[in-house]
Structure 1
Amino acid sequence: MAEHRFDDTLPHSRSGSAVWTLVVVSLSTFMLMLDLTVVNVALPDIRRAFDSTFSALQWILDAYALGLAAVLLAAGSLADRLGRKRVFDVGLIVFVLASLACGLAVNDLMLILARFAQGLGGAILFAVGPALIGHEFRGRDRGMAFGVFGAVAGLAIAFGPLIGGGLTETAGWRWIFLVNVPVTIAALVVGYRKIRESRSDTPPPVDWAGMTAFSAGLFFLVLGFLRGEADGWSSARIIGYFALAGVCLAVFTMLQITRPERALFDLTLFRNRTFNGLSAVTTLGPFAVMSAIFLLISYVQNALGHSAFASGLRFLPLTLMLFVAAAATGALVAKVAPALLMGASQFLVAAGFLAILLVDAESTWTALIPAMVLIGLGMGMFNPPRAAFSIAVTTPDRAGMASGVNETFQQAGMAIGIAAVGAFFQNRVTAAFEESEVARTVFADRTSEAGEAVAAGGPAALTAELPAAVGAAVHDAAQAAFVSGLHSAMVLAAVVATIAGVIALATMRRGDLDAAALTTPGVPVDEPSVQQPVATQ
């Protein structure tokens, strides 16, 4: 490989491949985050195509999250050892083949398996992408690069319903997967030609045993949370999942302690207070935000009755604020204290959740605008510093491992949050509906079942087949119960986000970060890293 050298007198110099690296990683991330939300709006069409059960539809969503969570840490650690570009390319290939299989699925079982494989490919891209960006950018340029990266990720979440609705309505549900194919192939070709290789100068042996134990442990942990509400939290199956997770993670910890020369995860990072704080905020922030976004999308579609495409349009205030905040925050990463950036992002999000309390059963979508503005600002402020600090808590040769750890916390928090807050929302909607005299009169001993239907599909889930004489009254009761449950879920999400903000203020500080990673030019793979180890506490 040709030797690349940098002029240290130019504090923000970067290689010619830097911009292409940012484009490819951002484009890949857009597709990955899009697939977290885009499938939801197509589920009715998928159900009709395959005559799927409700359980099968849940698995179509859960399989992707399981694939993501299972191999994030392993992918990041392998990238440090084998080469980040090489592992990233493998992720692109797995993702494009899995997306093709999703689009060509002949039944729901094939779709579920393909979605799991899609999540595995996505995990590799999630884990390695930030490390590739961190290798090419430093100082102010790194902040701006991660600002773009964060904005693109947020845009995908916000535009998911819009894009999914548009594709489903105009071309059919299969195209929400098939559209990934040409985009991923283009990213693969450009990345192969333009992205430089980078890896650790002295890679340790691959920790296959630790990799297997951790992946299995996280798989069963996330599976338990995802299936707890459907199978029963006290059921033998769910208890078994959590028990298996505990055993696997205990084995993983023991392996990391007894074989430090092979360690998949450098446990000494836990001595770094900023790493601990960042990990907690990275778990709690998505726990609150993603669950809230899913519920707000459900409110606009199921309670207010807007189509998927129309719902996406109504989320534009959030989308625009997210983009503006991410772009602005990227320039502040190297200047403003990490605690202030991360703390402010969580407090803004919490304020947005509390603004949902302004919505009542008679409200139109415009009542959401204040909340959308605040949530969009908070989400935009979160991703750029999170991604930048995740690889600055250690030295550049371990950037893949650090990024994989951080992405693991984020994806696990996201999956568990959607399951936990979703279950809480369903419980609160059902309880509120059961308290309605109209509901008890019309549904009698089926009131609880009807309340669950309201939580899943809004008032229309009940009123479509009811006589007009009672339909209006049931609709009003269901709408009131849905909004009541939404309020309760938003308060819970606000509490979680506030806790995340307090943790950020109390734990994160610039002195615990690798200063060279934020202020000096990139170090090519051919030259040994000269960065000093991070300060630990």
Structure 2
Amino acid sequence: MRKWWPLVAVCLGSFMLIVDTTVVTVALPDMARSLGAPLSDMQWVLNIYTLALGIVTLSAGSLGDLFGKRRIFVVSLIVFALASLACGLAGNTAVLIAARGVQGVGGAAMIGTTLALLGGCYEGKDRGTAIGYWSAVLGMAAAAGPILGGVLTQYLSWRAIFFINLPISVVTLLLAVLFVPESPRAERARVDVAGIVTFAVFAGALTYGLIRAGEHGWAQGATLLCFGIAAAGLVLFAVLEQAQQAPMLDIRLFGNASFCTVMLGVMASSVAFACLVYTSIWLQGVLRLSPLGAGVALIPMAVTSFLASSLIGKRLHTVSPRVTIGLGLLLNTVGCGLEYLMLHSSANAWTLAPGLVAIGLGIGIGGPGTNGAVLASVPTERSGMASGAMATFRQFGQALGVAALGVVFLSAMSHRLAGGTADPRTAAASVASGAAPDLPSVHDAGAYALGLVFLATAALSALACLCTVLWVRGAEAPAHAPESARATGQPAQT
């Protein structure tokens, strides 16, 4: 039993982090009323967290390689806990947003090292089992956030969604200190400051640009400026990393079609999660469900994802990632396609259940294979880099998905409502705030718009699935594989 305590520590930290990306959503109206702030300002309680995750995640994985992954995990856990306390005690909006940003920094450092910690603690069948359960916890946490947020906000206070992190952090900290061994460190003389700074510029500008695109449109001047800065930062980052003898991110990995395809699969799966944002908006803004009711409607995906990862995914560690990742993406495609076909003007919350079950199966089966393939792409002492890269692509996929799908959702609603009894722009925008008029035309437009959101996601998942079948090869490299083969991302042949 002792050997599984590191898994428990990593799962507790990951659960807390992922829940905090969604738990705030249902509490924003209560926060705004309590602090006397407009709801538009409170959106930054969500946005600043996303921004911090996008900037810090990859750097944290690299620092874990240099200073020790357990040390970075423990420090980040302490930062996360203290920031959660500050969020719960915040007396005004500025303090809450600032504390939430610090919480995002701590969360990014945690998620940037968790997969690498599992890779260092377990090998072979045990690694497959550990990654399976960890992936199951991630899927369950993403869907459980709205449920937990609804319960705590409705029966206690919005401050409880932050205070609950404190006891979990204490338990996780004790388990990490007592049972998680320190990892070997990469032989590198100094921190890659240039890489960290240029990547932060790229990630920060891109994430902020995506946030602005969702709020103000893709063609707005400040949005385009952010994307321009992001492009320049990315080019400079790539140039500097190629000149480094021991770079924060080995650019050569992206010359490997298998590695790039796995990253595409990570982003596609993240966009599927982004669909939940607009599913929740539809459930609350069109169907008029309570936050708790909307969370309950997502239970089929949460339960299926957990069961699939823990009962199926963990047993597939010897199967080629081409099969597991491809099957997961195929199930995501089927699930999103089912949602598109079944959403109509008379649809209700349970209409979504079959599609959510298929998406949950896809996440549960594909997740462990993706994680194993990423770990196999680099030597053990650089697993923090791979872990951080995967977490960064996951975060960008979610941010891009929320922004792009938001344009699809609102544009489709406005188009569907044109010529109807409700003003298209007003009704479409009011759905997100829960103030949409209760009219048949709004129900029809909401279902139509959400259906297109799922259709777009299905198309991306199908593309990622095809690329996986064509370019992902081999099974996870064994623990004793030569470092040269692992470092270049060449998996073992099947």
Structure 1 length-normalised TM = 0.87
CA displacement 1:106-164 (0-9 Å, x = unmatched): 11221111111111111111010111100111111111101110111111111111111
The 1-side partners of 2:350 and 2:289 are apart by: 13
Instruction: Please say if residues 217 and 245 of structure 1, whose CA atoms lie closer than 8 Å, have aligned partners that are also in contact.
Output: yes
DSSP-derived class of the 1:261 partner: coil
Q: 2:265 corresponds to which residue?
A: 281
The yes-or-no answer on 1:416 pairing with 2:384 is no
Instruction: Please say if residues 116 and 387 of structure 2, whose CA atoms lie closer than 8 Å, have aligned partners that are also in contact.
Output: yes
The yes-or-no answer on 1:448 pairing with 2:425 is yes
CA displacement 1:186-222 (0-9 Å, x = unmatched): 2112211221101235234211111111012111101
Q: 1:163 corresponds to which residue?
A: 148
Instruction: Please say if residues 342 and 382 of structure 1, whose CA atoms lie closer than 8 Å, have aligned partners that are also in contact.
Output: yes
1:347 to 321, 330, 347: 330
The yes-or-no answer on 1:516 pairing with 2:473 is no
By how many angstroms is 1:403 displaced?
Answer: 0.7
The yes-or-no answer on 1:234 pairing with 2:214 is no
The 2-side partners of 1:46 and 1:410 are apart by: 28
Gaps in structure 1 of 5+ consecutive residues? 1-15, 464-473, 521-528
2:238 to 224, 248, 253: 253
The 2-side partners of 1:462 and 1:20 are apart by: 48
The 2-side partners of 1:462 and 1:371 are apart by: 26
DSSP-derived class of the 2:316 partner: coil
Instruction: Please say if residues 79 and 199 of structure 1, whose CA atoms lie closer than 8 Å, have aligned partners that are also in contact.
Output: no
Q: 1:307 corresponds to which residue?
A: 290
The yes-or-no answer on 1:61 pairing with 2:46 is yes
Q: Could you say if the C-alpha distance between residues 233 and 530 of structure 1 is closer, same or farther in structure 2, counting changes exceeding 3 Å?
A: closer
Q: 1:225 corresponds to which residue?
A: 210
The yes-or-no answer on 1:296 pairing with 2:260 is no
The yes-or-no answer on 1:426 pairing with 2:410 is yes
The 2-side partners of 1:150 and 1:118 are apart by: 22
In structure 2, give the amino acid aligned to 1:533.
A
Q: Could you say if the C-alpha distance between residues 41 and 536 of structure 1 is closer, same or farther in structure 2, counting changes exceeding 3 Å?
A: closer
The 2-side partners of 1:141 and 1:536 are apart by: 22
Alignment of 1:333-482 (within 5 A): 333-356=316-339, 357-436=341-420, 438-439=421-422, 443=423, 447-454=424-431, 456-458=432-434, 461-463=435-437, 475-482=439-446
Instruction: Please say if residues 290 and 418 of structure 1, whose CA atoms lie closer than 8 Å, have aligned partners that are also in contact.
Output: no
Instruction: Please say if residues 202 and 234 of structure 2, whose CA atoms lie closer than 8 Å, have aligned partners that are also in contact.
Output: yes
By how many angstroms is 1:55 displaced?
Answer: 2.9
1:492 to 456, 460, 467: 456
The 1-side partners of 2:309 and 2:32 are apart by: 37
The 2-side partners of 1:536 and 1:393 are apart by: 4
Instruction: Please say if residues 328 and 367 of structure 2, whose CA atoms lie closer than 8 Å, have aligned partners that are also in contact.
Output: no
In structure 1, give the amino acid aligned to 2:277.
F
In structure 2, give the amino acid aligned to 1:154.
G
By how many angstroms is 1:339 displaced?
Answer: 0.9
The yes-or-no answer on 1:47 pairing with 2:32 is yes
Q: 1:93 corresponds to which residue?
A: 78
| Mean CA deviation greater in 378-387 or 162-171 | 378-387
CA displacement 1:21-78 (0-9 Å, x = unmatched): 1111100100111011111111110111123224312211111111111011111111
In structure 1, give the amino acid aligned to 2:316.
V
| Mean CA deviation greater in 379-388 or 84-93 | 379-388
The 1-side partners of 2:382 and 2:364 are apart by: 27
CA displacement 1:445-480 (0-9 Å, x = unmatched): xx42233213x145xx143xxxxxxxxxx6111111
In structure 2, give the amino acid aligned to 1:323.
F
Q: 2:306 corresponds to which residue?
A: 323
Q: 1:9 corresponds to which residue?
A: none
2:254 to 244, 247, 270: 270
The 2-side partners of 1:266 and 1:147 are apart by: 27
Instruction: Please say if residues 291 and 422 of structure 1, whose CA atoms lie closer than 8 Å, have aligned partners that are also in contact.
Output: no
How well do the aligned residues superpose, as a CA RMSD in angstroms? 1.8
Higher gyration radius (CA): 1
Instruction: Please say if residues 224 and 242 of structure 1, whose CA atoms lie closer than 8 Å, have aligned partners that are also in contact.
Output: yes
Q: Could you say if the C-alpha distance between residues 290 and 239 of structure 1 is closer, same or farther in structure 2, counting changes exceeding 3 Å?
A: same
Q: Could you say if the C-alpha distance between residues 299 and 162 of structure 1 is closer, same or farther in structure 2, counting changes exceeding 3 Å?
A: same
DSSP-derived class of the 1:331 partner: helix
Q: 1:501 corresponds to which residue?
A: 465
Q: Could you say if the C-alpha distance between residues 236 and 97 of structure 1 is closer, same or farther in structure 2, counting changes exceeding 3 Å?
A: same
In structure 1, give the amino acid aligned to 2:274.
S
Instruction: Please say if residues 34 and 159 of structure 1, whose CA atoms lie closer than 8 Å, have aligned partners that are also in contact.
Output: yes
By how many angstroms is 1:86 displaced?
Answer: 0.6
Instruction: Please say if residues 274 and 393 of structure 1, whose CA atoms lie closer than 8 Å, have aligned partners that are also in contact.
Output: no
Instruction: Please say if residues 317 and 369 of structure 2, whose CA atoms lie closer than 8 Å, have aligned partners that are also in contact.
Output: no
Q: 1:181 corresponds to which residue?
A: 166
Instruction: Please say if residues 351 and 371 of structure 1, whose CA atoms lie closer than 8 Å, have aligned partners that are also in contact.
Output: yes
Q: 1:471 corresponds to which residue?
A: none
Instruction: Please say if residues 143 and 332 of structure 1, whose CA atoms lie closer than 8 Å, have aligned partners that are also in contact.
Output: yes
In structure 2, give the amino acid aligned to 1:243.
G
In structure 1, give the amino acid aligned to 2:380.
P
Structure 2 length-normalised TM = 0.95
Q: 1:127 corresponds to which residue?
A: 112
Aligned sequence identity (%): 33
